[in-house]
Structure 1
C-alpha cells in the first residue's frame, strides 16, 4: 500500500512541477521532508542525500567555474570566430561552445558568450544564440563534468550502490551524437529569423520626456509633494538638469526650472501629465544623454527576481537602477512595469546610477548584454592559473590518479589563496537552490525505490513492452525522460525517471548501464520547448525569439539526437 501512496504523491509532484507555480526547489524539498515525516524514509537517508559525493562534486565544480567564466579568453576569440560567412562563423561558434562545454558548466559558457554575441555587429544575434544554446548541451553530453545532468545521474548511481561513472564513460556515445546534431543544426539554423538589434529604437520607444517651464507649480517642491510618484501608468525615472543626469530620483529631490523629467511605463498615457501646469513635452534631444546611461541585462537562472515584481523586491533601492522596459522573447511588455512578475530570461533595459557597478548582486542576478558595464576580467596570469589548474584536475581524474572532488577542492583552495576568487563571491554565487533540488530529489528517489513504487512502474513498462523486449523498455525509459525534460527541467526529469529505469533493468534481468545512459541522455534532450533548460531561457529575450523558432530549429535536432542515442547506446553498452 505504501508503494501506491508514494507513487501517487510523486504524480502530484510532477503535476505541480509542470504547472510551474512553485519552484522545483520548494517542491522537491517539501516532498523530501514530507516523506521523512510520514516515515517512508528515515532522517539519516535525508541527510546523506545532501552530502552525496557526486552532488558535492557538482557544487564545487560550479564554484570553480566562477573563475573560468571571468577569463578574457572567450572575448578575444569571439572577434575571429564571427567574421566571414555566416555558416562558417556559426560552425566555428558551435564547435568552440561544444568543446568548452565538454569540461565547463554549459551555463557558464553561454553566459560568457551571451554578451559578446549580442554586442557584435557582424551577424544578427538571433541567427547565433539558439545554436549557441544547443551546442552547449551537445558539448555537455560528452563528459561526466560537461553538464549538471550527468553529475546528477552519477549522484543517483552512487546512491544506488553502483560503481561511479567515469570522466569519459559518456564520450563514445556523446561525441558522435554531438557531431551529428551540430551538422543538423547547420541546416535547421537557416530557419531562424534575422532580428535586427534595436538598441536606439528600443530606448526611444520606452521614454517620455517633459520639461519644467518657468512659472510651473512644480518648481520648489519635492517629487513627493508634487505627487509625481503615484502617476497612472507612468513612472518618473530620471531628471536631466543642466546636462547632468540625476538617477535614481529620490522622493526628496526638489524640482527646478528647466528640469527635464524622464518618464517610463505606459508612455501612451501622456494625458496623465496634463494636470501639471508648466510641463512641456518636447523632442528627442535628451536621448543621446540617456543612451550613455543605459544597460541591457538578462535575468539569470540564479537570480532571486523570477516570480516577483519590481515593486516587491524594491528594485531601485536594491540595484540603484530604474527599469526602463522589459522584453520577453520578441515582445516588449506593456502595462505598469512594477506589477509584472518577472521570469528567468527576461531582458531588462536599465537606467543605472553612477555606483551601479559596485552593487554586490549584479553577477548573480544578471547577464550583461550591452552598455559600459562589464564584469571584472581575470588578469592573464590569473586566467592561466585557473585554466591550467582546471585542466590538470580533469587530467588527473581521467587517469584515476586523483579523485575529481579532491582535485576540485584543492583547486578551489588555490584560487582563494591567490585571490582569483573571494569568499564573498562564493557566498553570492553558491548554487544553494540546485543543491536543495538534487539533495531532495535523491531522497524522493530513495523513497520510490524502497517503497516499491519504482518497481510498480517498471512492471507496467515491462507489460507494455512485453512484445518488444528489453530494447523496447529501453526506448520507453528514454522517451519518458525526454518528454519530462521538455515540460519540467532536466534535473527533475533525471530524478523522477532514474529509479524507474533502474527497476526496469532489474525487471528484464538486464545490465543497468544502458538504462542509466537512457536517463542521462534523455534528460539532456531539451531542444523543442525553451522553458525546460536554463541556457534556452538565457538566449530567449536577447535573440528576440518566439516559441515557434525553437520548434522549427529544435524538432529536427531532437529527432537526430534521439535516433543517434537509441542506436549508439546499445552498441556501446550492451544489455
Structure 2
C-alpha cells in the first residue's frame, strides 16, 4: 500500500511539473482517489477543508482585496524611484520587504508593477526581479507574510501540534532577509539594461493579421500592395499553410488566408487601416484601431491560464482585441488566437469603451499601461482599512484574540463600512488555493495512514545514518527547496510536511526545526520564474530571459540556504523538550 501511495505522489509531482493540468484539478483528483480507496474517510477529508489555519488564510486573502486598493501603495511606489539607481533599488527592496511581511506580496508587486514599468528614468529590467525577490524575503519573517507559512501552520494544527505564532518566523527570517537583500544588491548588477522607452517596449510586440478570401490584396505582390514602407511597422514574415516565409521579399505574392506578421511600433497599428480585407485577430481593423491600447499581464488568478483566446471568446468576454502577446523577451509565433496563454504573459489590448466596467478585470489582469484606473479607496478609507488591519495583527500578536477571530471581525467591519462587497468577495474568492490546500491536507493524512511518509522517513534515516539528525534536517530543507523550484511553493510545503514530521519522529527529535525547514524551504524559489506568482508577474514586463533569474537568484539562493541551515537549529533545537 505504501509503495502505491508513493507512486501516486510521484505521479502528482510529474503532473504538476508538466503544467498541463491545473494544480487544483490534480490535488482534488488524488484526494478523491484516497477517499475512494479507504486511505482516508469522509470526516477526515471534510475536516481538512475546515482546518482553522486554512480558514485564516482565506480571510487574510479576502481582506487583502481591500488593502490592495489603497492609494498609499501607489504614492509610495512613485516616491521610491528617485535619486541614483542604487539608492532607488535599495529603497524599493526595503519597502517591498517590509510591506510584504504583513500584506499579500502579490498585491505589493502588482501595486509597484505599473509604476515601475511606465517610468523611463531607470530601466524596469533592473528593478522588477529585485522587487519580486524582496517581496519573498519579507514574507518569510511573519506568519501572515506568505501563504506558505500559513499552509505550514495548517499542517501543524492538523497533526495536533500548536499553531505557529505571528513572529515565530522572525528570529530566523529577519537575519536571512537582511543577508539576502545585501546579496541581491550585488547580484542585481547582472540584470539586463533593457530600454524603458514606450517605443522600444511596443516594438517587442508583433501583430498577426489574416488576409480575407475576397481581399483585393490577394494575387498582388508585397510591393504592389504598398506594404514595404509602412509608418512604424515592418512586415516580418508570412505564415502560409503551416509554412513560414521569412524574410519576405518585395516580389512575394499575397494569398488568401495568409497570416501577415508585423513588428515595430504597434501603437501605429492604424497604418494597416487602408488595407481592405485585412483582419486583426479575426476582427476588422477598423473595429480595433478606434480603441485605446492598454498593456496588461495575465494574473495568477486568471481564467485565461492554459487556454487560448479562441477558447475564451476573448473579444466578447472583455470587449477587447489582442493586438500582441509577449512572453518574457520572446515573441510567440503562429496565430495568436490559437496559442495557449500562461500566467505572466503580457498582452497589448485594443479595448472598447466599456472595457474598464468589466467586473472580472482585477481577477484576470495586472495593468501595466493605459488610462484605465481601478476604483481606489479615499485617503480616509485607506487609513481606516490599514489601521484596522494593524489592530487585528496586534491583537493576535499579544494574545487578545486569535488571528482568525481578529480577521473575521475586520472582514465584517469592511463589509459594513462598504470597503468590501460580497460581490467582490465572490469574484475574487481564492477557490483554487482552497481546493489545493484542503486536498493537500487530505493527501498528507493518506501518506501518514498508509505508512508512505514513514517509509520515506526510514529512507532518510538510513541515508543519513552516522551523520546525525542535522544531516536529516538539511535533507528535508533541500528536498523542499527542489520541490518549490519544480512545482509551486504551497504544493512543495504540502508534500514535504508529512515527510519532515515522520523524519523528526524517527530521530526522536523536536519536530519544530523540521517544520521550519519546510516553511523556509518552500519560500526558497529564486532560480526560475515558474514556481512563484510574483516572478511570473514581472517576467514579461521586464523582458527577462530564464538566465536572468538564474544569474541573479543563484547567489541569493545559496546565501539563503546557508543562513537558514545555520540559524534554524540554533533558534529551534533538535532536542525534544
Which residue of structure 2 lines up, in the alignment, with residue 150 of structure 1? 149
Task: Tell me how far 1:207 sits from its aligned partner.
Answer: 5.1
* 2:469 corresponds to 1:443: no
Q: What is residue 243 of structure 2 aligned with on the other side?
A: none
Is the 2:476–2:517 Cα contact (8 Å) retained in structure 1? yes
Superposition deviation, residue 498 in structure 1: 0.2
Unmatched 5+ stretches in structure 2: 219-255, 263-269
Aligned to 1:346: 345
Confirm or deny: 8 A CA contact 1:297 1:370 kept in the other structure: yes
Structure 1 residue aligned with 2:489: 490
Structure 1 position 96, deviation (Å):
0.5
With 191-200 and 563-572 compared, the bigger mean Cα shift is at: 191-200
1:362-396 CA-partner distances (Å, limit 9, x unpaired): 10000000000121111111101110000000000
**Kept after mapping to 2: 8 A contact 1:234/1:263:** no
State the Cα deviation string for residues 520-566 of structure 1 (Å, max 9, x = none).
00000000011011110110000000000000000000000000000
Q: How far has the Cα of 1:201 moved from its partner?
A: 4.7
Alignment-derived partner of residue 433 in structure 1 = 432
| Counterpart for residue 533 of structure 2 | 534
1:465 correspondence with 2:491: no
**Pairwise CA distance, 1:89:** 0.5
Structure 1 residues 88, 217: closer, same or farther in 2, change over 3 A?
Answer: closer
- Alpha-carbon distance in 2 for matches of 1:572, 1:88: 33
Q: How many residues align?
A: 523
SS at match of 1:348: strand
- The residue that corresponds to 2:162 in the other structure is 163
Aligned residue for 1:102? Answer: 101
Distance 1:206 1:411 in 2: 46
Match of 1:222 in 2: none
Once the two structures are superposed, the pairs formed by residues 149-228 of structure 1 within 5 Å of their partners are: 149-197=148-196, 199-201=198-200, 203=202, 206=206
CA contact (8 A) 2:320 2:350 kept: yes
Contact 2:48 2:438 in 1 (8 A): yes
Partner-residue secondary structure (3-state), 1:302: coil
Q: 1:68·1:387 contact (CA, 8 Å) conserved in 2?
A: yes
Counterpart residue number, 1:321 = 320
User: Quick check: 2:320–2:351 contact (8 Å CA) kept in 1?
Assistant: yes
The residue number in structure 2 matching 1:383 is 382
Q: TM-score, structure 1 length as denominator? A: 0.87
Alpha-carbon spacing, 1:332–1:217, altered in 2? closer, same or farther (3 Å): closer
Per the alignment, residue 239 of structure 1 pairs with none
1:505 touches 1:512 (CA, 8 Å); kept in 2? Answer: yes
> In the alignment, does 2:30 pair up with 1:4?
no
Match of 1:355 in 2: 354
Structure 1 residues 528 and 217, CA, compared in 2 at 3 Å: closer, same or farther? closer
Contact 2:208 2:324 in 1 (8 A): no
Q: Which residue of 2 aligns with 1:127?
A: 126
1:299 matched residue in structure 2:
298
Per the alignment, residue 57 of structure 1 pairs with 56
User: Match for residue 476 of structure 1?
Assistant: 475
1:291 to partner: Cα distance: 9.6
Determine the C-alpha separation between the residues in 2 that align with 1:527 and 1:265.
Answer: 36
Cα separation, 2, equivalents of 1:403 and 1:424:
27
Q: Deviations over 1:306-364 (max 9, x none)?
A: 11000000000000000000000001223200000000000000000011000111100
Partner of 1:111: 110
189 and 217 in structure 1: CA distance in 2 versus 1, 3 angstrom threshold: closer
Q: Cα RMSD between the aligned structures? A: 2.6
Residues of 1 paired with 2:217 and 2:528: CA distance?
A: 54
Deviation at 1:80, TM superposition (A): 2.0
Aligned match of 2:233? none
Quickly say closer, same or farther: Cα 1:292–1:88, change in 2 above 3 A: farther
Q: Is the 8 A contact 2:97 2:135 kept in 1?
A: yes
- Give yes or no for contact 2:329–2:544 (8 Å, CA) kept in 1: yes
